[in-house]
Amino acid sequence: MAKESGLGVTTLSVDDSGGVARAIRNDITNFDFATPRGVQDVTGLDKSAMERLLLLADFSITLNGVFNDAANQAHDVFKTVPSTSVARTVTFTHSGQTLPNECLFTDYALTRPISGELTWTAPGVLSDGTVPTWA
């Protein structure tokens, strides 16, 4: 496979609170996600350099977008974040590579600056202990 831009995102869907996947990529303006691993320092006194072990895997995502309160769009998906405690499947696909994760969204923050736009941010974290794996 050749190098590619980020223009090939074909899927970015998030479950609503009822567990139904909603294709909301049209409402998302930008996002970031990370798949970090924990690290344990196990350096003994006999070492002259760091010695480490890899620990648990994790996943986090932050979605940013434009307010859209049409049925089954971003506001419908995230408006229940403060009132429900459900994991939501987040599915990201780029160039045929898919990264699905079960996430807990921890906030749905709206911003309306002096210029007038209405935007939102929704951060999510891994919820179910499944190692983030590209398919």
Contact 38, 54 (CB under 8 A): yes
Evaluate if pTM is beyond 0.85.
yes
Q: Above 90 in pLDDT, residue 1? A: no
Alpha helices in 50-119 (DSSP H): 74-78
CA–CA separation, 36 and 33 (whole Å): 10
Q: How far is the C-alpha of 38 from the C-alpha of 40, rounded, in Å? A: 7
Got the DSSP string for 80-96? TTTT----EEEEEEETT
Give the type of residue at 52. Answer: R
pLDDT category, 46, cuts 50, 70, 90?
A: very high
Question: Other CB atoms closer than 10 Å to residue 98's CB: what's the count?
Answer: 14
- pLDDT at res. 7: 87
